[in-house]
Amino acid sequence: MKLVHALVLASLTVSGSAFALGDPAAGERKAATCVSCHGSASFSGMFPLVQLAGRDADKLATKTNKYRSGKLFSPLMNMSVMALSDQDVEDIAAYYQKLGKPFLAMPGIRGDEDITAAK
């Protein structure tokens, strides 16, 4: 019985590891600027097609870092993420993943597959 319990705990720990890098509570504070454009749990943002809530944290972080490094060009985004640290990016990504779903579901909204497709 004890062994089963330990195994269940172990598998929970492993499956929860996507959250381990970023701290969603810190991310909520750090996302204050992102929210105006990308939304939150209670707001769609000015660009509702790129609401980030519910998106995969690893993919969000990867794409955010491409804007940080200038690999992806988008003046609004390059300026918005320029000053972030690696930890800030992980925290913000964890926050958005934890929101679970966009505030305003709508046709044409970007999903994780768009992030994966981006070079």
What is the binding site for ligand HEC (CB under 6 A)?
33-34, 36-38, 47, 50, 60, 63-64, 74, 76-77, 80-81, 84, 92, 110, 114-115
Cα torsion angle, 79, 85, 110, 102, sign: negative
Comparison of 1 and 100: residue with beta carbon closer to ligand HEC: 100
Comparison of 50 and 104: residue with beta carbon closer to ligand HEC: 50
Tell me the residue nearest to ligand HEC as measured from the CB. Answer: 34
Maximal CA-CA distance, the chain: 57
Phi-psi region for residue 74, left (φ > 0), alpha (ψ -120 to 50) or beta? beta
Comparison of 10 and 25: residue with beta carbon closer to ligand HEC: 25
